[in-house]
Structure 1
Amino acid sequence: MPPKGLSIEDVQDEDLYAFLHVQEKATDKELESAYRKLALKWHPDKNPDNAEAADLFRKLVKVTEILKDKEARAAYDQLRRARHLQELRKKELNAERRKLREDLERREAAHSDNVVSERQAREGLAAKILRLKEEGAALVRASEQKLRDEWAQTQAEQLAAASAAAEATTAQVHAVKVRWKKSKAFAEDDIRRLLSQFGTLGDVVMSAKGGRALVEFESHSCAALAAETGCPDLTITLQSSAPADAEATPAASSPSPASHTQASSNSPLRRPPPAMFASAAASAVPPPSTAGSHNTPAFPAAKRKVTEEEVFAMMRLAQQRKDQQAADQ
């Protein structure tokens, strides 16, 4: 069946070239030019209250599709010529030329195998119009599917980026283990006062047995600097980056001799569960304030050891701090 808005009868009874005001041998460029001129005249936006203009515009679109498609145009030209020949025959039907008409029909019947009838031409044109309609629908479906695929790919990339950012945020250790002789009797305020010189502190978890504490820093560099530089009467060790179920392994080595302490499994201090850490991909929240409660540790779940380059960077930073303190004195 032909597309909605254009039937075989419309094609049969009307000259499409005359409808577009072009010649029969008009090129695609001339057809496009004629289409634009008539589209400006009959477009529904310019004729909002004119139903006839809307019908003419739809008819203009279909007529242009037929004439710009080579196969459909050839079928229409064949039908047009057959209709033209039929009109000529009707004009010649008179007494003087009747015999000539009968002779002509006999010759056409003799060569009927090589002549396409008007009915066959009409059926061929209908098939070409139907093909145009199906191809247009297929293009629309393909375009919609492409948009859906691109949207799904964008969502997947954004999710992957958020996951990577979350893993990167938790990839470094921000805490140190602090030990001292029980005879010193350091309180939490003392630990904060001594370690605040290395950077902003987060939570400080004091051991119930005394002599130990777990101190959170704002950044990994601050924690590494504290472990590298050390502090009088305190043994400072960078918190191990091993998972909670593998805390029996020794802590990650560092240039400081204090890093060679006993395994963390012997310590009463346990690593907090990863669920206590906020994801950096969900919200960029600053480290916990020292003014709040200091009973709940909130250390990022580290997943790697300190690299050699980071160790050298921390050593340079510690040396600069010592030089600055010597210059101040």
Structure 2
Amino acid sequence: MAKTKIEDVDLYAILDLTISATESEIKKAYRKKALQCHPDKNPDDPKAAEAFHELSRALEILTDAAARSAYDKVLRAKEAAKLRHKELDSKRQKLKEDLERREREAMSGSGMNNLTDEQKLAAEIQRLQREGSKLLQEEQKRVKEEIQRSLGRLTEPVWDSSLNRIKIKWKADKTDESNGGYDEAILRKFLKKYGDIVALIVSPKKKGSALVEFANKEASDMAIEFEKGLPENPLTLQWLNEKPVLTTKREAPGPSLVSDRDYESLVMTKMRQAAERQRLIEEMKKEES
């Protein structure tokens, strides 16, 4: 962007906004796009720094009242000129451009009040460069901190319930149709008080056996330590893999590009969750058999 005149760049388009955007909308759009193209988040993309620079320049100019006013005036003039050019043939366009060029040259060197719109905009840009934009610095710091937090979560130890299944045992004779007094509903009643259950399956072939997955480690630990089940036929809970396992996230969660209010998105999310739960149950059945 440094090689391109600022008046030849549509700063609003860079932020996916229109000239009528409010300052709040400008800052919001900047944060959203900056989080996506920040060099720290795209170390292998040589164009990321340039894109981030363009966003920062757009924020700097469009959040400064004087600079934005000068820029908008030039932008509107260029749009009006485009419309007029469509109505003129090539010869008249050349005459008009020559006249405008001579007018600019005649006005150059005069006082600030006689500067062209482009010259006024250039003066505002130079002022911003000298003064520096406090708002831009604050927004860049905010974006960088958010990215650092996001990248930090990539290696943060997290709980994966599929790696931390708990085996449940109790006494039950092979011919006992009541399975020692336990079924899925009864087990769920005992276990749900510790926390959310991701999946629970009673072995279809092996009496006195079940597997359960909890949504977090705390629930799992408490269930193993405290749950005894029926007094007349106590439960024994233990880790399937001898001890709990922590892993790391493969990707950091970010804002969805589709609104949470979007009905279709919600339906698809529910379907994916149901499919995932069914997959876990099938895996647990295979392990038990």
Q: TM-score range by the shorter chain?
A: 0.3 to 0.5
TM-score by length of 1: 0.33
Structure having the higher Rg: 1
TM-score by length of 2: 0.37
